A and B are shown apart, each in its own frame.
Chain A
Amino acid sequence: QKEVEQNSGPLSVPEGAIASLNCTYSDRGSQSFFWYRQYSGKSPELIMFIYSNGDKEDGRFTAQLNKASQYVSLLIRDSQPSDSATYLCAVNQAGTALIFGKGTTLSVSS
């Protein structure tokens, strides 16, 4: 069974710190990797995606992928209280629907 694992948290960081969110996946055939952010009471929204090994940066967010280790992470630099949310990791193979993890709850304190 294809699985995506995340530590449910909560992960607590002070404002301005780097938040590191981690995700592992079981299916070696996975090709696309996504991070969704979900605020309490809201629907998930896509914030990052990565297809190739290495790092991908977008503003304060960096996604990191290591296919050999079946590991993907999301780094949030200069964390803000507005970053407090649940972060969902999702993976898929070409032509198949996304498989989601349970999500990690991030709390950024001011």
Chain B
Amino acid sequence: ETGVTQTPRHLVMGMTNKKSLKCEQHLGHNAMYWYKQSAKKPLELMFVYSLEERVENNSVPSRFSPECPNSSHLFLHLHTLQPEDSALYLCASSQDRGGKKLFFGSGTQLSVL
């Protein structure tokens, strides 16, 4: 595989569920990101990891918990989400933290019931 892969592509969960989104990049990049894309709103940066260290957290609620075990893998753990959290969650990577040329995964379309 090449590029950035995300699983699952679609996820429906109840507000009391716990689920995880997975992202893997095969580009040898050092930085990975989680973005949220909602209808009619700009892409919102959620978390930035550089060399497995979280370097940015954009005031994201604690019901979203990221994990970066190594420079190739990134997870987003979800628990007790709200319906307004329904959105497309995009993982991205870049060579370095500056985030200039981002390579995006296909995204996970999340629906919270």
Contacts and interface: CB of A to CB of B under 8 A. Distances in A.
B104 A49 contact: no
Interface string A61-103: 0000000000000000000000000001010101111111111
A14 interface: no
A65 to B, nearest CB: 15
A109 interface: no
A49 B101 contact: yes
Interface in B68-86: none
B98 A92 contact: yes
Contacts of B100: 32, 34, 49, 92, 98
- Chief secondary structure at chain B's binding surface: loop
A100 B104 contact: no
Contacts of A110: none
B5 to A, nearest CB: 11
A96 B45 CA distance: 11
Contacts of A99: 42, 45
B66 to A, nearest CB: 14
B106 A43 contact: yes
A4 interface: yes
Nearest to A94: B98
Contact of A101 (B33, B42, B102, B106): B42
A102 B45 CA distance: 13
B43 A88 contact: yes
A44 interface: yes
A46 interface: yes
A44 B104 contact: yes
A100 B99 contact: no
B42 A4 contact: yes
B42 A96 contact: no
20 contacts: A34-B100, A34-B101, A43-B90, A43-B106, A43-B107, A44-B102, A44-B104, A45-B104, A46-B103, A88-B43, A95-B98, A97-B33, A97-B48, A97-B56, A98-B99, A99-B45, A100-B43, A102-B40, A102-B41, A103-B42
Task: Please name the 10 residue pairs, one residue from A and one from B, whose CB atoms are nearest each other, closest first.
Answer: A43-B104, A100-B43, A97-B99, A100-B42, A102-B42, A97-B45, A98-B99, A95-B98, A44-B104, A43-B107
